[in-house]
Structures are given as C-alpha cells and as structure tokens.
Structure 1
Amino acid sequence: MGKAKKEWLDVAIAAMDKAYVPYSHFPVGACLVTKSGKVYQGLNIENASFGLSNCAERTAFFKAVSEGEREFQHLVVVGHTPEPISPCGACRQVMVEFCEPTMPVTLLGDDGVMKETTIESLLPYSFSSKDLPG
C-alpha cells in the first residue's frame, strides 16, 4: 500500500482534538481503513479508574468490528511524542487479531517523521487463534 494517504493522516490528527484525556492530557488519534476504503476514526478515552481507559487504536477497531467490518488495509496512529508514536501492547494484540501480518501501519509524532511498519513488525511471534486448540 505504501505511505498513508493524506486523508487518513488528517482523520487521525483530527481525532486528537476529540480525545477525552482529562488525566494524562495526552491525546492520541487513529484512522483505521477497511479493504473497501471505509474509514474509522479512533481516539483515546480515559477514565478516573485508569485501567478502564481505552486507546485510540482499540477504539477504531472496536467501532469498525461493531459495524461488521473484518478486513482492514491500513492503520494510522498519531500522538504528541517526540518521535513517531508507538502503540501499546494491548493495541498490538488487537491488531494481530484482526489484521494480516503484512498490513501497513503508519506512526506519526510531533517531529513530523512518519514511520512505516507492519503488524508483524510491531508484534513478532504473536499469539493468535492459530495457537488455540481445535
């Protein structure tokens, strides 16, 4: 697929303005694109009980999956980090559940430098349904 389209970057960047981050003040935005080209925006949503917070990436996936989507072609994640943002482990595991290992992921931070990677590179030797019995 190559580099993320500007439209997808814009969707992810706009999501940061909608993020609910009263505790960390650290907005993160995501744009998940289906194979048919439909776009799902994700943002982080915090909770006073910190363990109940949800990351931007998982918000985008859960929105898409709740609408019946199961095939994805690209994910963009943006945040206010000095270098391209790095998804947390929980988000990486959700990505593995729903994406091909070679699906491209674009990461962007405040430095403006984009890092292009893949699901497999983000979580090598991952646990998936193929590891479950039967």
Structure 2
Amino acid sequence: MQKLDVEVENAVERMFCRDEQMEKAVSSNKSMMIKQLIKYYPAIFNKHMINFSEKFSEVLLHNIAKGREQGYYCDDFNAEIYSKLFVQLMMSYDSSPIIEHEKVEREAFNHEVMMLYMNAITTEKGKEVLKI
C-alpha cells in the first residue's frame, strides 16, 4: 500500500487505489485459518486484527497528512480516531448482526464506507476530486 504513495500524488485518488487493496486484505481475512483463529484462539485473532489495523491506520494517517497539505482534507477532525473508525467499519461487514448480507454485498458495503469516510474528511476542493 505504501508503494501507492510514490505512484499516486493526489491523496484523494490514492484512497480509491487503496480501496482495491483494502478489499483484498479484508476478503483475505475470510480464510479458513482466520475462521479457526476466531473460533479456537480468539486472543491470537484479536492480536492479529490489532496489528493489521494499527498498520493500516498508519497508512491512513500518512494519507490524511498529505491530503491536508494538498488542501483536499479538512483540519478539524482527529485523524487518529477517524483512521481507526474507517478500519473498524471496513472490517465490520462479517461480524455485524445488523448488515443483511443477502441484501448488501461486501463490495457495495465497502464502497459506502469509503464514501462516508471521504465525504466526512474532504474539503470542497477534495469533494471536486470525488466527483471525477
């Protein structure tokens, strides 16, 4: 994911490139090993998820700093909390008792989470990029 920092300069566009990678990372957590960790070794699973979310939050924090420098992201929110909220929402599809999986597919859910997040943090300049 950090490779994108070099390839894509615009912080808003970079988030949508990461969306594909986030999709792969989230769906990889459906493997049999992960399911067995959840069932038989919940403490190990929790440690794995904390490690994953901390690393992904760091990437998001870097993106937020870059987006603020570029004038695409607002300065009036707590970047650390927002990055963790984003990761939490993205990871909640499988574990949420309120998401109707037969009505809402993972890809649609993740897209809506991304748009919720991006609309919350972008300035008017950033929202113009979202429209493209």
TM-score by length of 2: 0.32
Quick check: which one's strand share is greater? Answer: 1
Structure whose alpha-carbon radius of gyration is higher: 2
Quick check: which one's helix share is greater? Answer: 2
Q: Comparing both chains, which one has the higher relative contact order based on Cα–Cα distances under 8 Å and sequence gaps of 6 or more?
A: 2
TM-score by length of 1: 0.31
